[in-house]
Chain A
Amino acid sequence: MLRKLTKTMFAFAAVTAMASGVLAEDLTSSLKVGAPDIKSAGPLAFGPDGVLFVGDTQGAAIFAIATGDTKPAGNGELKVEAIDEKIAAMLGTTTKEMAINDMIVNPASGQVYLSVSRGTGPTAAPVILRVDRNGKISEVPLKDVKFAKASIANPATRNRVDAITDLAYIDGRVFVAGLSNEEFASKLRSLPFPFSDKEQGTSIEIFHGAHGKFETHSPIRTFAYFKSPSEECLLAAYTCTPLVKIPLKDLAPGAHVKGTTVAELGNRNKPLDMVVYEKGGKNYILMANNSRGLMKITADGIEKAQGITSRIADKAGQSYETLDQFKNNVVQLDRLDKEHAVILVRGESGALNLETIPLP
Chain B
Amino acid sequence: MKPTRLATIGLVAMLLGCGRPAAAPRPATVPAPAGAGAGVAYLAPQKLGMRSTPDGKVVFTFGPFDTWALAPLRDMAKQDESHWQKYFIVTTQSMRGLGAPPPTPMLGDYTLEGNTLEFKPRFPLAPGATVYAYADMNGQLPSTFELRSRGEPVFSLISQTLTLPKPAVDEDTRITAVYPSADLVPENLLKFYIHFSGPMSRGQAYDCIHLFDESGKEVESPFLELGEELWDRTGQRFTLFLDPGRVKRELLPRQELGPVLVEGKAYTLVVEAKWLDAKGNPLVKPFRKTLKVGPPDDRIPEMNSWRVSVPPTGSREPVVVDFPEPLDHALLERVLRIKSADGHSVVGAIQIQNAERRWSFTPEQPWAPGTYQLEAETIVEDLAGNNLSRPFELDLLRPVERETQVPVQSLRFEVK
In the bound complex, how far is the Cα of B331 from the Cα of A157, in angstroms? 11
Contact of A58 among B92, B107, B199, B233 (CB under 8 A): B233
Beyond A91-B122, A92-B121, A94-B92, whether A213 also contacts B250 by CB under 8 A is yes
Report A-chain residues with C-beta under 8 Å of the C-beta of B364: none
- Across the interface, name the chain B residue whose C-beta is closest to A291: B221
Contact of B103 among A89, A101, A265 (CB under 8 A): A89
As a 0/1 sequence over residues 243 to 260 of chain B, the CB contacts with chain A under 8 angstroms (1 = contact) are 111101111110111000
- Contact indicator A184/B190 (Cβ below 8 Å): yes
Cβ of B263 within 8 Å of any chain A Cβ, yes or no, is no
In the bound complex, how far is the Cα of B127 from the Cα of A146, in angstroms? 35
- Contact indicator B221/A268 (Cβ below 8 Å): yes
- Contact indicator A241/B253 (Cβ below 8 Å): yes
Cβ of A13 within 8 Å of any chain B Cβ, yes or no, is no
- Contact indicator B331/A183 (Cβ below 8 Å): yes
Interface residues of A in 249-289 (CB under 8 A from B): 264-270, 272
- Contact indicator A215/B256 (Cβ below 8 Å): no
- Contact indicator B92/A93 (Cβ below 8 Å): yes
Chain B: minimal CB distance from A100 (Å) = 10
Report B-chain residues with C-beta under 8 Å of the C-beta of A216: 244, 248, 392-394
- Contact indicator A214/B129 (Cβ below 8 Å): no
Chosen A-B contacts, 8 in total, with CB atoms closer than 8 Å, are A92-B124, A119-B126, A122-B231, A183-B331, A183-B387, A184-B381, A214-B249, A239-B245
As a 0/1 sequence over residues 124 to 163 of chain B, the CB contacts with chain A under 8 angstroms (1 = contact) are 1110010100000000000000000000000000000000
- Contact indicator B393/A240 (Cβ below 8 Å): no
As a 0/1 sequence over residues 208 to 221 of chain A, the CB contacts with chain B under 8 angstroms (1 = contact) are 01111111111001
9 new A-B contacts, CB < 8 A, other than A89-B92, A90-B104, A120-B276, are: A92-B122, A97-B126, A121-B279, A182-B331, A183-B331, A216-B244, A216-B248, A241-B245, A267-B256
Chain B: minimal CB distance from A124 (Å) = 8
Report A-chain residues with C-beta under 8 Å of the C-beta of B257: 267
In the bound complex, how far is the Cα of B245 from the Cα of A269, in angstroms? 10
Report A-chain residues with C-beta under 8 Å of the C-beta of B331: 182-183
- Contact indicator B103/A181 (Cβ below 8 Å): no
- Contact indicator B334/A122 (Cβ below 8 Å): no
- Contact indicator A121/B392 (Cβ below 8 Å): no
> Which one of A161-169, A189-197, A296-304, A333-341 is at the interface?
A161-169
- Across the interface, name the chain A residue whose C-beta is closest to B255: A311
Cβ of A158 within 8 Å of any chain B Cβ, yes or no, is yes
- Contact indicator A159/B278 (Cβ below 8 Å): no
Report B-chain residues with C-beta under 8 Å of the C-beta of A155: 334
Chain B interface size, under 10 / 10 to 19 / 20 to 34 / 35 or more: 35 or more
In the bound complex, how far is the Cα of B132 from the Cα of A24, in angstroms? 49
- Across the interface, name the chain A residue whose C-beta is closest to B279: A121
Contact of B231 among A42, A158, A161, A266 (CB under 8 A): A161
B contact face: mostly helix, strand, loop, or mixed: loop
- Contact indicator A120/B201 (Cβ below 8 Å): yes
As a 0/1 sequence over residues 176 to 211 of chain A, the CB contacts with chain B under 8 angstroms (1 = contact) are 000101111100000000000000000000000111
> Which one of B42-50, B210-218, B234-242 is at the interface?
B234-242
Report B-chain residues with C-beta under 8 Å of the C-beta of A118: 123
Interface residues of B in 204-227 (CB under 8 A from A): 221, 224-227
Report A-chain residues with C-beta under 8 Å of the C-beta of B279: 121
Report A-chain residues with C-beta under 8 Å of the C-beta of B244: 184, 216, 218, 239-240
Contact of A121 among B200, B239, B394 (CB under 8 A): B200
Cβ of A71 within 8 Å of any chain B Cβ, yes or no, is no
Contact of A242 among B108, B121, B229, B251 (CB under 8 A): B251
Chain B: minimal CB distance from A193 (Å) = 23
- Contact indicator B126/A139 (Cβ below 8 Å): no
In the bound complex, how far is the Cα of B393 from the Cα of A97, in angstroms? 40
Cβ of B203 within 8 Å of any chain A Cβ, yes or no, is yes
Cβ of A355 within 8 Å of any chain B Cβ, yes or no, is no
- Across the interface, name the chain B residue whose C-beta is closest to A97: B126
- Contact indicator A92/B92 (Cβ below 8 Å): yes
In the bound complex, how far is the Cα of B40 from the Cα of A12, in angstroms? 66
- Contact indicator B93/A213 (Cβ below 8 Å): no
In the bound complex, how far is the Cα of B393 from the Cα of A241, in angstroms? 16
Cβ of B232 within 8 Å of any chain A Cβ, yes or no, is yes
Chain B: minimal CB distance from A243 (Å) = 11
- Contact indicator A91/B330 (Cβ below 8 Å): no
In the bound complex, how far is the Cα of B227 from the Cα of A101, in angstroms? 8
Report B-chain residues with C-beta under 8 Å of the C-beta of A264: 251-252
Q: Which 10 A-B pairs have the closest CB atoms?
A: A121-B278, A122-B235, A120-B201, A159-B232, A89-B104, A210-B250, A267-B253, A266-B252, A240-B244, A181-B230
- Contact indicator A122/B104 (Cβ below 8 Å): no
In the bound complex, how far is the Cα of B396 from the Cα of A210, in angstroms? 10
Cβ of B403 within 8 Å of any chain A Cβ, yes or no, is no
- Contact indicator A90/B105 (Cβ below 8 Å): yes
Cβ of A145 within 8 Å of any chain B Cβ, yes or no, is no
Report A-chain residues with C-beta under 8 Å of the C-beta of B357: none
